[in-house]
Amino acid sequence: MTTVGNSRLENFQQVLQAQLDQQTAELTKLRAHRTNPEQIGLDPQTVTALINSTQRAVADSTEALKRMTDGSYGTCEQCQREIPTERLEILPHARFCMPCQQARNS
């Protein structure tokens, strides 16, 4: 992590922590309604899909916070180049720079 300065890193950390807190609360709520999804106006398959999606979001945020701790935040996991700050502002948990992400999606 070299391009992301300390103040930017703290900002990203706050954003990620807030996202993680919100995602964790949402996951708790969804799990509580898993057995009775009609209470929130959803069918069981939709609740299951939302749980899976929210679990992935929790994992993404958690992994990004771990990368901050180990010093690898802001470095592409594939090419080891720095992820532009602009990308991290849009997607704070980004693991790959845009060229590598596009190659993975192809």
Q: Which domains does the chain have, with CATH numbers?
A: 6-105 (1.20.120.910)
Q: Which runs of E-coded beta strand occur in 9-62?
A: none
Which helix (H) or strand (E) segment is 86 a member of?
helix 85-90
pTM higher than 0.75: yes
Which helix (H) or strand (E) segment is 56 a member of?
helix 44-70
SS3 82: strand
What is the chain's pLDDT, residue by residue, as a tens digit (106 residues)?
445 678 889 999 999 999 999 999 999 999 998 888 888 888 899 999 999 999 999 999 999 999 999 999 999 999 999 999 999 999 999 999 999 999 999 9
Distance, in Å, from the CA atom of 64 to the CA atom of 66, rounded to the nearest integer, reads: 5
The answer to whether residues 101 and 83 touch, using CB atoms and an 8 Å cutoff, is no
| Structure tokens belonging to residue 98 | 């845009």
